[in-house]
Amino acid sequence: MGKITGFLEIDRKVESYAPVEERIKNYREFTLPMEEKDVKDQGARCMDCGIPFCHSGCPLGNLIPDFNDAVYRGKWEKASEILHSTNNFPEFTGRLCPAPCEEACVLGINEDPVTIENIEKNIAETAFKKGWITAKPPLERTGKKVAVVGSGPAGLAAAQQLNRAGHQVTVFERDEKPGGLLRYGIPDFKMEKHVIDRRLELLKEEGIEFKCGVHVGKDIKADALKNDFDAIVLTGGATVRRKLPIEGADLKGVVQAMDFLGQNNRRVDGIKDLGEEILATDKDVVVIGGGDTGSDCIGTSFRQGAKSVSNFEIMPMGTPDRPKDQPWPFWPMRLRTSSSHKEGAERFFSISTKKFIGDEKGNLKGLITSEVEWVTVPGQRPQLKEVEGTEKEWKCELALLALGFTGSENTIAEQLGLEMDNRTNIKASELNYKTNVPGIFVAGDQRRGQSLIVWAISEGRQAAHHIDKYLMGESALPLKGEGDLPRV
């Protein structure tokens, strides 16, 4: 429970960042580690609140007060056991999670919440440093074979859980290396890729086989895979990018964010053959879209040496405080400012891009916007309305489209006869992750649509339980929040 009076005595403190002018010179992570005493003090702020709402704020049901208490008492190995009992990859979430748990922290009602995410990262990194995280292959094999299609956080979590249950797991990934968006979406300055490789080595040691460069649906037909395996879990993500179908969208310099980010992550990985290079160097860059992807484009553009970076968001500017209609402990839609925003981007809200302008060679040289407002008519969905007389021309040689994703690709679904839902994800209930075809399961962004790493891990774990049950009639794999180890 932490120290009884800890929350009264100790202020919230999180890792600080290297100065902007230093960190944008490279792609390394730039958080500055905290002293062990400071992290223990932060654990001491957890206040034994009776009903820990943080548990339900966390999609994994992490046992947060328990690991906070262990950290406060310096029992780091115990903290790591508790954390790993509900979360396969706390080194990912400890760096990248937006921490809905902190929005649900009881201390957060009238004080700064406990720094749960940062404590999580410190537990994971201490455990790796001390050598406590080791491969744990299953003692027995069941003789059942499971294929995992897609190696993002959902696929990796499902694979580890199913392997623990003794099934022979093969992960198919069409990219050259496993990791999904962790590797080819999220930039190294948010998470260096050796963090993924360190975990992959353990998964391989545990007996999971990875087949990269294999596009299921093209290189292997999905129905052939079905004949070779006892069950399949689809974890291919929500990869269909939203387009901006306006005049000039085909000009050279109008680029999908994922093409830009994927290429840069490969460049940072030392890959030379990148095809046509997309670079922000010496350009006025406009990033269209105010979410995580947009923010990653901003940080990457600055590191490539952009002349200026502007960020457009069609929604109005939120308030930094929790809006009154989104009370604690719910996740509030408020203004969030990322470390990349703070690197010098100018942000514009309630703005819509109407047209891209090109030069005589077909290169982007500018764009036209207008301000917009959302008009609410009772009984109808809010309508977007242009504000007359607000048209503006901007100089821009690189426009990055970070408009989100519309759902899952449908090749595998067509080959297997899978139903899609009305948001073009593969249809399956959260109750059992089963598609309409027996033996085929789906989890992560491919089932729930574009979401978060913590949700992907949670879905991978949940799906693994239901697959194990389908194969064996029952399952000892834990469901959300159960954990698979005794508590302190």
Ligand X SMILES: Cc1cc2nc3c(=O)[nH]c(=O)nc-3n(C[C@H](O)[C@H](O)[C@H](O)COP(=O)(O)OP(=O)(O)OC[C@H]3O[C@@H](n4cnc5c(N)ncnc54)[C@H](O)[C@@H]3O)c2cc1C
Q: Six-digit token pair at 159? A: 């694979």
Cα–Cα distance, 326 to 105 (Å, whole number): 15
Query: Which has the closest alpha carbon to 23: 342, 308, 255, 326?
Result: 342
User: Residue 393 Cβ, how far from ligand X at the closest point, in Å?
Assistant: 28
Cβ closest to ligand SF4, residue 34 vs residue 278: 34
Burial call 261-297: b when 16+ CB within 10 Å, e when fewer: bbbbbbbbeeeeeeeeebbbeebbbbbbbbebbbbbb
Cα–Cα distance, 273 to 400 (Å, whole number): 22
Q: Does 180 bind ligand X (CB under 6 A)?
A: yes
Cβ closest to ligand SF4, residue 86 vs residue 293: 86
Cβ closest to ligand SF4, residue 84 vs residue 183: 84
Single out the residue of 454, 456, 463, 467 in contact with ligand SF4 (rule: CB under 6 A).
454
Q: Six-digit token pair at 192? A: 């260096």
Q: Does 119 bind ligand SF4 (CB under 6 A)?
A: no
Strand blocks (E) in 189-283: 209-212, 231-234, 240-241, 254-256
How many other CB atoms sit within 10 Å of the CB of residue 343?
Answer: 20
Q: Which of residues 42-61 bind ligand X (CB under 6 A)?
A: none
Residue with tokens 């990934």: 173
Residue with tokens 């006025």: 284
Q: Which stretch binds ligand X (CB under 6 A): 40-48, 122-130, 145-153, 416-424?
A: 145-153
Q: Does 93 bind ligand SF4 (CB under 6 A)?
A: yes
Q: Does 96 bind ligand X (CB under 6 A)?
A: yes
Cβ closest to ligand X, residue 83 vs residue 456: 456
User: Residue 318 Cβ, how far from ligand SF4 at the closest point, in Å?
Assistant: 20
Binding mask 41-80 for ligand SF4 (x = CB under 6 A): -----------------x-x-x-x----------------
Q: Does 216 bind ligand X (CB under 6 A)?
A: yes
Q: Quick one: what does residue 96 bind among ligand SF4, ligand X, none, with the CB cut-off 5 to 8 Å set by partner type?
A: ligand X
Q: Does 104 bind ligand SF4 (CB under 6 A)?
A: no
Single out the residue of 101, 147, 225, 306 in contact with ligand SF4 (rule: CB under 6 A).
101
Cα–Cα distance, 388 to 426 (Å, whole number): 41
Residues 6+ away with beta carbon under 8 Å from 462? 430, 433, 443, 479, 480
Single out the residue of 236, 262, 299, 478 in contact with ligand X (rule: CB under 6 A).
236
Contact 82, 30 (CB under 8 A): no
Residues in contact with ligand SF4 by the rule CB under 6 A: 58, 60, 62, 64, 87, 93, 97, 99-101, 116-117, 120, 454
